[in-house]
């Protein structure tokens, strides 16, 4: 799927492709670790930057650290405090072997300090996701302006859904609850619910013999620009993704998070987001509440110049 992003955003072709593919956490991390070590030994960089909380991030940080290459972790200091999430393990381990913790907010800095990380390693830079949203939204509005017509949607008159986490999708009762929630939302608001669905989620729906409720429109996975365009034009977003909680806040689109916790507490504090879990009635209640919100919150995640700040910092 990554080819979509490189093509759509006109990014330079990668010099290396490790071809790790999908697998268990051990398989993905192990293959990435082996491949990245080979590249680092060949290239001999001064520093390795890793962004986020994926298995690749942990593998990149580990490979660099073992080779005594400095590590910079972009989006450091985030915590959900839920070790059932594999991303949480990746975040914690990566932060503690990094030389530069490039945290998005003061709150994230405080978290790192409480874990005993040297304050001289921690730098508040904002998050590069803000840079990406600001830069690519203009591109999306230009290139994807016909997408609403294509999907027979009207601006600010549909709900956008993403749900992909193992703890929601791989457990029949939870996925069934989500479908019941989507059914209730359509009954209450009579607005289309657009759900770009991952092949794995489609497989679980089939395995659990679940019926797709009325009003829920399952569509093929979208490219980044297409999704960003839909997100900006949605009336409300329902998600279990951390990054989309942040994007929705930046775009001033109300967000209902289909989890019991979040590593983006700033979104809760400014009022752009609410935690609903997977209980159908709670999701309906939280949706009602968020739709009444004024979209005048202040984005706490940066000014869109985080990339510049990081480069300047590393060059000093």
Could you tell me which residues are beta bridge partners of residue 103? 124
Report yes or no: 180 and 216 within 8 Å, Cβ to Cβ: no
Is 198 tagged catalytic?
no
- Pairing mode of beta strands 159-162, 193-196: parallel
Catalytic-labelled residue, pool 25, 68, 96, 164: 164
Cα–Cα separations (whole angstroms), residue 259 to 33, 127, 234: 30, 22, 20
Q: In what order do the strands lie in the sheet with 100-103?
A: 47-51, 70-74, 100-103, 122-124
When computed from its CA atoms, the radius of gyration of the chain, rounded to whole angstroms, is: 20
Place of tokens 């609850």: 177
Task: Provide the residue count of the chain.
Answer: 316
Cα–Cα separations (whole angstroms), residue 104 to 164, 169, 270: 24, 29, 15
First-to-final CA distance of the chain:
36
Helix (H) or strand (E) holding 161: strand 159-162
Dihedral sign for Cα 16, 315, 119, 126, please.
negative
Active site residues per annotation: 164
């Amino acid at each position: 799927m990554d080819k979509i992003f490189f093509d759509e955003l006109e990014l330079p072709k990668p010099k290396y492709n490790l071809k790790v593919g999908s697998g268990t956490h051990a398989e993905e991390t192990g293959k990435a670790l082996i491949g990245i070590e080979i590249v680092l030994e060949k290239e001999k960089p001064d520093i390795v930057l890793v962004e986020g909380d994926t298995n690749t991030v942990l593998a990149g940080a580990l490979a660099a650290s073992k080779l005594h290459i400095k590590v910079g972790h972009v989006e450091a200091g985030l915590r959900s405090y839920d070790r059932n999430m594999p991303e949480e393990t990746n975040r914690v381990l990566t932060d503690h072997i990094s030389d530069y913790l490039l945290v998005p907010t003061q709150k994230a800095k405080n978290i790192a300090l409480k874990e005993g990380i040297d304050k001289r390693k921690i730098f508040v830079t904002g998050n590069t996701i803000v840079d990406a949203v600001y830069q690519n939204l203009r591109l999306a509005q230009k290139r994807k302006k016909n997408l609403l017509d294509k999907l027979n949607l009207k601006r600010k008159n549909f709900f956008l859904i993403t749900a992909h986490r193992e703890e929601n999708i791989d457990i029949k009762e939870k996925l069934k609850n989500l479908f019941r929630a989507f059914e209730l939302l359509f009954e209450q608001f009579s607005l289309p619910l657009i759900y770009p669905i991952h092949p794995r989620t489609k497989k679980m729906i089939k395995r659990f013999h679940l019926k797709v409720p009325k009003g829920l429109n399952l569509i093929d996975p979208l490219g980044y620009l297409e999704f960003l365009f839909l997100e900006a034009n949605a009336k409300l977003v329902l998600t279990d993704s951390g990054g989309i909680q942040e994007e929705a806040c930046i775009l001033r689109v109300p967000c209902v998070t289909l989890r019991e916790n979040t590593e983006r507490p700033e979104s809760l504090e400014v009022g752009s987001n609410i935690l609903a879990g997977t209980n159908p009635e709670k999701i309906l209640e939280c949706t009602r509440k968020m739709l009444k919100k004024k979209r005048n919150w202040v984005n706490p995640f940066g000014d869109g110049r985080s990339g510049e700040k990081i480069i300047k910092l590393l060059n000093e």
